[in-house]
Each structure stands twice: as structure tokens, then as C-alpha cells.
Structure 1
Amino acid sequence: MEIFDITLPIHPEMLHWGRKPEVEIVESLANGDASNVTRWRLGAHTGTHVDAPAHFVDGATPVDKLDLHSLVGPAIVADLTAVTGDITVDDLTAAGVAGHKRVLLKTSNSAGPLKEVDRAPSWVGLSPEAAQWLIAEGVELIGIDYLTIESHTRTETWDAHHVLLGAGLIILENADLDGVPPGFYELVCLPAKLVDSDGSFARAILIKRDA
């Protein structure tokens, strides 16, 4: 069994949309305390994280009530590394996405913008039309390798988010797929159980089992 950890490390200098994480030392052995204790200040959408439908739809499913069957199970890592701009329906069909419930989009983001400490001026995102196609295909979880699945040209209207989350899909963002070959895996994606939250940071792994 081979395990690929697709989770970004969380630390104060990491790539982040907005305010970066902060760490406070509450207790330390060096200061004569009984143990080392830290307090972290970070947003629900820090690092590798899950967007629940409640992120864009009031009254929709929050992250603590997501179906674990959608977060754990067979998944495809689709090769979209040749795509520039928006991922289209044609790109998804060519990558063999049809028929899969859990889809991770490996793009040029993994080896490029995802490795930077500041937000890039542009990145590969999902077109609204492709988002609609994913819904029609019965996809339950869609992931991408950047801060957002949204195109850099639509971060004011958030079209793909409205389409996907409005239909109840789960979005996984900031999945580090740089070292993961395209193919078929078992996904285990477990967001923290933040009650009634719009999303949560998650530990996500891909498992390739021996034949």
C-alpha cells in the first residue's frame, strides 16, 4: 500500500487567502511549565480544506454534517496539467472524469502557484459550464490543487462555487497533487468536525493499494 499525503503543511508563512495563521505559545517546558502548549488562530478555509454547501448557501449542509461516504472512497486524479485558463467540459471528458464520484483535478497549479507563499495573479480553475457537467455526471466531491476551484477571472461572482455548492457537491481545495501520478486511488478526506461551519481544514490522503 502506498500513501500520498496531499495535505499542505499549516504554518504562519504559508500560502493563504487573506490573513495567515498565527501561533501563540501558551505554555512551554523552556519557560518552566509542565508541558508545551500552543494556541492557533486560523480560518476554516486554511490550507487543504473542504468547502461545505453552507459556504455559499444559507441553511445548506455544514461541514460537520457532510456524508462521510462522499469524503472517503474510490477517486480519480485526472491529468489536467496541459490546461491553461479555465477547465472546460471537453477537458474533463478527455481526462476520463465521467463516471467517477470523487474527482481530483491535477493541474499546473501543483507545480507552480501552489508552491508560492503569495497568491498568484492567475491560476487554473473550473468553468461554470464544467461545474454543471460534473453535477450531471453525479460527482459528489470535486477537488483542485489551489486556494480555490474558482477561475481567477471570477473571484467576484464565484460562479463555479454557486453551481457546485448549490447542488450539494463537496469542494476540496489546496490539494497538493504535485507528487501524485494521475490514476485511480482511495481518497480519505476528513475535515475537522466544526459544528455548523461553512468549511474546515482537513487531512487528506490518497491510497494506492497493491494489486
Structure 2
Amino acid sequence: MKIYDITLPIHPKMLHWGRRPEVEIVESLANGDASNVTRWRLGAHTGTHVDAPAHFVDGATPIDEVPLTTLVGPAVVADLTGVTGDIEAADLIAAGVAGADRILCKTSNSAGPLRETERAPQWVGLSPGAAQWLIEQRVSLIGIDYLTIESHRRTESWDAHHSLLGAGVLILENADLAAVPAGNYELVCLPTKLVGADAAFARTILIERA
């Protein structure tokens, strides 16, 4: 089998939304302490992470209660690198993802905005119509290769987030798909178990079996 690690490395200079991660050295061997110990300050939406329904819906499922059966299983990486604006339902249909339970959208973000250290003025995101199509298809998880699955045109109304999370569809963001060919994989996505949290950073891999 072949394993693709699609997790972004977490460090103080990384691409971010809001504050960057901060690292404090608590103890160090170099200073004569018994061991090396660090303290990290970072948000639940840092790096590759999963948005739980509680992110946009009060009282909805938090990240620690999301079933692992949704986060582990067959997934399709859809080649949407030719999309230059928002991803529409027609783009998803053309990519052949109808009937898939978990979909990861590989876009031009992977080779462009995702590689930068500052947020881009625009990126490929999901249109409200595409979000509704995914809900109608009974998709359980949708992922994208940028800070947010939301269109850069809608980061005030957050239409896709409201629709998807309101319907219980999990959102995986900041998946690094640059080296992953389109196709069928086994997804293993394990968010940190932050009790009652709206999201959590997650070590995420795709497995290609012979």
C-alpha cells in the first residue's frame, strides 16, 4: 500500500486564519533541565482540521462526539484543478463523485494559495449550490485544499458552512492534496479529542491499496 500524508505541518510561520501558532519553551536540556518541554498556543482550526456541526450550529455535535465511522473509510479525491472560480454542482458531477460518501476536492489551491504563508485574496471554494447538491447526495464528509471550503466571495455570510454543518456534513479543510492523484482511497482522519470544541486539528492520511 501507499500512504499519502495530507496534513499540513504546524509551526509559527505557517499559513493561518487569525493568529499564528505560538511556541513557548518551558524546559530544555540546553538550559540544564531534565528534558525538553514546549507549550503550544494554537486554535482548533489550525492547519489540517475538521469542522464539526457545533462550529456554526449551537447545541450541535462537537468534535469529540463526531463518529469515527465518518472520519475513516473510502474516499474519492476529485480532480477540480481546472475550476477557476467557485466549485459548482456541475463540476462535482463531471468529476464523477456522485454516490461517494467522502469527497476531497483537489483544486488549484494545492499548488498555489496553500503553499503561501499569508492568506490569498481569492481561492477556489464551494458554491452554495454545490453544498446543497452534496447534502442531497447524502455525503458525510467534504474536504478541500485551503483554509476554508467557503468561497472567498462569501466569508461574511458563510453559506456553505451553514448548509453543510446544519445538515451534519463534516468539513475537512487545509488538506494538502498536491501530491495525490485523483482516485479512490481509504481516508483516515483523526481530529484531536477536544471536548465540546467546534473543530480540531487532525493528522490525516489517504491510503492507496494495491
TM superposition shift of 1:172: 0.1
Q: TM-score, normalised by structure 2?
A: 1.00
1:47 aligned counterpart, secondary structure: coil
Aligned length: 210
TM superposition shift of 1:138: 1.0
After superposition, give the CA deviation of every residue in 1:38-96 in whole Å (9 maximum; x if it has no partner). Answer: 00000000000000000000000000000111100000000000001100010000001
Q: Which residue of 1 aligns with 2:64?
A: 64
Q: Which residue of 2 aligns with 1:20?
A: 20
Q: Which residue of 2 aligns with 1:74?
A: 74
Gaps of 5+ in 2: none
Question: Runs (4+) of structure 1 moved beyond 3 Å?
Answer: none
Counterparts of 1:118 and 1:85 in 2: how far apart (Å)?
Answer: 20
Counterparts of 2:66 and 2:11 in 1: how far apart (Å)?
Answer: 26
Q: Which residue of 1 aligns with 2:153?
A: 153
TM superposition shift of 1:100: 0.5
Q: Which residue of 1 aligns with 2:131?
A: 131
Give % identity: 78
Counterparts of 1:130 and 1:150 in 2: how far apart (Å)?
Answer: 11
1:38 aligned counterpart, secondary structure: strand
Indicate yes or no: 2:100 matched with 1:107: no
Indicate yes or no: 2:161 matched with 1:164: no
2:154 aligned counterpart, secondary structure: coil
1:43 aligned counterpart, secondary structure: coil
Counterparts of 1:53 and 1:16 in 2: how far apart (Å)?
Answer: 21
1:203 aligned counterpart, secondary structure: strand
Q: TM-score, normalised by structure 1?
A: 0.99
Indicate yes or no: 2:87 matched with 1:87: yes
